[in-house]
């Protein structure tokens, strides 16, 4: 198997007496999209800041491309970091800010190309202080896109973006991945991680509570069949009522759905608002806090 891009072994981080990250171990392989998810205050940002080289571990080891992330010369040009807030100077124009990314990271790219990818070509001459929240977020994304780095950190990249901008951002991420970039994502929009992550690490109170692919995480919980409460004969399956809906929990979705549809057909019952599917990451999240 190829050498991991990121290797974290027994990482611990303390702020004074507060133990924010406890014995965290994980690796991210080349070309993967790894999502580091968790509850508020779980320690995601603290862990990522260490991997990005901004923070010294209290104990444990972190390797990025086989180097310490504190070895900035070896590592920094190879990684793009989209922070929650990049802190571009409010007086610089968008184009000047994009140029600055090149100077700070040591990567080269065409400014016009980057502006086009992040959808800010028409705003190139606007100063940062006059950008909308979503436009600022797209400028933050330019830090990840510039020079097509091998490793990209996206920290809640779509917060504050409208649906078109979100779709455009994910299209750009897909193109970066086609180019071989490895992506580390944090987000509170779980459906984004569910759709895109190859693997997920789910943190709660400083430790991993779950790690694996989406299907490894979700298959431990039952699938759900839902429909509006029908009139008529008793249902053929054990169920509960949630508001106006009937909910069937099952580990045998196909078999039970077949049974239910056959019963509805035979009894002339219409199953309105019918939906059926595996459990969502939201449910996995709720279960770790329970
Ligand atoms: N500089 C600091 N000094 C003291 N405590 C800190 C510091 N930075 C973070 N913490 C604490 O460490 C814990 C982990 O914080 P962190 O920001 O890593 O969590 P997170 O998983 O990114 O949370 P969120 O999803 O809410 O952004 C929190 O309880 C936070 O209050």
Mean pLDDT of successive 10-residue stretches along the chain, which has 290 residues: 90 96 96 94 94 95 95 91 86 96 91 94 96 92 94 93 91 93 93 92 93 87 90 89 92 95 93 89 79
Q: Check if 41 has its Cβ closer than 6 Å to any atom of ligand 1.
A: yes
CA atoms of 77 and 209, how far apart (whole Å)? 33
* pLDDT given at position 290: 65
* pLDDT given at position 252: 94
* pLDDT given at position 1: 61
Q: Which atom of ligand 1 is nearest to the CA of 13?
A: 12
Q: Check if 43 has its Cβ closer than 6 Å to any atom of ligand 1.
A: yes
Nearest CA to ligand 1 atom 23: 41
| Boundaries of every domain in the chain | 6-218, 223-279
* pLDDT given at position 208: 93
* pLDDT given at position 281: 81
Q: Please answer whether residues 206 and 42 qualify as being in contact, where contact means their C-beta atoms are separated by less than 8 angstroms.
A: yes
Q: Which fold has domain 6-218?
A: Rossmann fold (3.40.50)
The Å distance, Cα 142 to ligand 1 centre, comes to 26
What value of ipTM does the predicted structure carry?
A: 0.96
The two three-digit tokens of residue 201, written as one number? 């690490």
Bridge-based pairing of strands 33-38 and 199-204 is: parallel
Pocket test for ligand 1, best of 11, 42, 204 (most atoms within 8 A of CB): 42
Q: Which atom of ligand 1 is nearest to the CA of 47?
A: 18
The Å distance, Cα 106 to ligand 1 centre, comes to 30
Compute the half-sphere exposure of residue 133: CA atoms within 13 Å on the CB side of its CA.
7
CA atoms of 68 and 9, how far apart (whole Å)? 12
192 CB contacts (<8 Å, ≥6 apart)? 158, 170, 185
* pLDDT given at position 140: 94
User: 22: which DSSP letter?
Assistant: E
The pTM for the full model equals 0.86
* pLDDT given at position 78: 94
Q: Which atom of ligand 1 is nearest to the CA of 21?
A: 14
* pLDDT given at position 86: 73
Q: Check if 2 has its Cβ closer than 6 Å to any atom of ligand 1.
A: no
The two three-digit tokens of residue 232, written as one number? 């008529």
Ramachandran category for residue 75: left, alpha or beta (phi over 0 → left; psi -120 to 50 → alpha): alpha
């Amino acid at each position: 198997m190829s050498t991991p891009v990121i290797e974290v072994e027994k990482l611990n981080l303390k702020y004074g007496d507060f133990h924010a990250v406890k014995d965290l171990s994980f690796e991210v392989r080349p070309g993967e999209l790894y999502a580091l998810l968790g509850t508020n205050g779980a320690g995601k940002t603290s862990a990522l800041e260490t991997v990005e080289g901004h923070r010294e571990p209290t104990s444990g080891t972190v390797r990025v491309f086989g180097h310490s992330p504190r070895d900035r010369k070896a590592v920094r040009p190879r990684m793009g970091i989209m922070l929650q807030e990049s802190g571009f100077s409010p007086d610089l124009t968008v184009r000047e800010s994009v140029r600055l990314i090149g100077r700070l990271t040591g990567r080269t790219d065409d400014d016009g190309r980057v502006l086009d990818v992040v959808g800010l070509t028409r705003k190139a001459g606007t100063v940062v202080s006059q950008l909308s929240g979503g436009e600022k977020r797209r400028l933050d994304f330019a830090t990840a896109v510039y020079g097509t780095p091998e490793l990209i950190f996206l920290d809640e990249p779509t917060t504050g973006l409208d649906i078109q901008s979100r779709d455009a951002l994910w299209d750009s991420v897909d193109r970066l991945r086609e180019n071989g970039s490895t992506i580390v994502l944090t987000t509170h929009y779980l459906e984004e991680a569910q759709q895109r992550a190859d693997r997920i690490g789910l943190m709660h109170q400083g430790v991993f509570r779950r790690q694996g692919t989406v299907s490894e995480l979700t298959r431990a919980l039952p699938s759900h069949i839902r429909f509006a409460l029908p009139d008529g004969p008793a249902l053929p399956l054990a169920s509960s009522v949630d508001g106006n809906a009937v909910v069937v929990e099952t580990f045998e979705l196909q078999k039970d759905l077949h049974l239910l549809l056959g019963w509805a057909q035979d009894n002339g019952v219409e199953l309105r608002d019918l939906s059926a599917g595996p459990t969502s990451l939201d449910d996995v999240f709720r279960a770790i806090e329970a």
